[in-house]
Amino acid sequence: MTIKDTPEEWEIRGTGTPFTGNKTSVRTDDVVMPDGTVVHRDYQVHPGSVAVLALDDADRVVVLRQYRHPVRQKLWEIPAGLLDVAGENPLHAAQRELYEEAHVKAEDWRVLTDVYTTPGGCDEAVRIFLARGLSEAEGDRFEVEHEEADMELARIPVQELVRGVLAGELHNNCLVVGVLSLVAARTGDGLDALRPAQAPWPARPFEA
């Protein structure tokens, strides 16, 4: 048996959008189950996101600490952001986020992993990139606002982040998945065997 996620779409008898927000919305679909019954499924419709695990030459990861109101915590995270434009190239979005949030650029980009954050209630898809060959970005720093105005930046050793994840001290989805994927890739075929930065992404198709 091949262990691989596959596309599938069950019949929808009706759909509605009870809420539309600034970036996301809520959709209600009437979905036909395998036994023929029709049930309501509410879920958040999301444009998709990118995240960047930026690894420096000292084996440290660029992280930031930011307040997240829904969970009432300040979380340590890796740079990330929305795909604000339909069809936007995710690599370009990731490069933008790394510049805006950390004022860093990278020479080598790979796809680390692709995930659905909460597929039971949201269609958000995230592409997590590995960025290496880091240096300070040119030009002025991006002007931040709202939660980002209180943001802290740091570079933390990979093993310290792994320890924090397994100890239940670090909870951000992209940081957890990104760091553990990095370790798995190293123990497998190596980082240079990761997919290229422009690898296809069926969850959010784009033009290279």
Whether residue 146 has pLDDT greater than 60: no
Taking alpha carbons only, the member of 102, 82, 85, 92 closest to residue 144 is 102
147 is catalytic: no
Q: Is 69 helix (H, G, I), strand (E, B) or coil?
A: helix
- Check if the beta carbon of residue 151 is closer than 8 Å to that of residue 66: yes
- What are the Cα distances from residue 85, in Å, to 13, 48, 49, 96, 112? 29, 10, 11, 13, 22
Model pLDDT for residues 62-112, shown as the tens digit of each residue? 999 999 999 999 999 999 999 988 778 999 999 999 999 999 999 999 999
Q: Is 115 exposed, middle or buried (0-12, 13-18, 19+ CB in 10 A)?
A: buried
Question: How high is the pLDDT of residue 84?
Answer: 84
Cα separation, 187 vs 158, whole angstroms: 14
Question: How high is the pLDDT of residue 139?
Answer: 74
Residues whose CB falls within 8 Å of the CB of residue 161, separated by 6 or more in sequence, listed in order:
61, 63, 170, 175, 179
Whether residue 190 has pLDDT greater than 60: yes
Taking alpha carbons only, the member of 188, 194, 79 closest to residue 137 is 79
**Full-prediction pTM beyond 0.85?**
yes
Catalytic residue among 88, 148, 152, 160: 148
Q: What is the mean pLDDT of residues 41-51?
A: 97
* Residue 208: pLDDT band with limits 50, 70, 90: confident
Model pLDDT for residues 122-133, shown as the tens digit of each residue? 999 999 999 999
Identify the structural domains of the chain with CATH numbers, from first to last.
12-45 (no CATH), 49-196 (3.90.79.10)
Cα separation, 62 vs 100, whole angstroms: 13
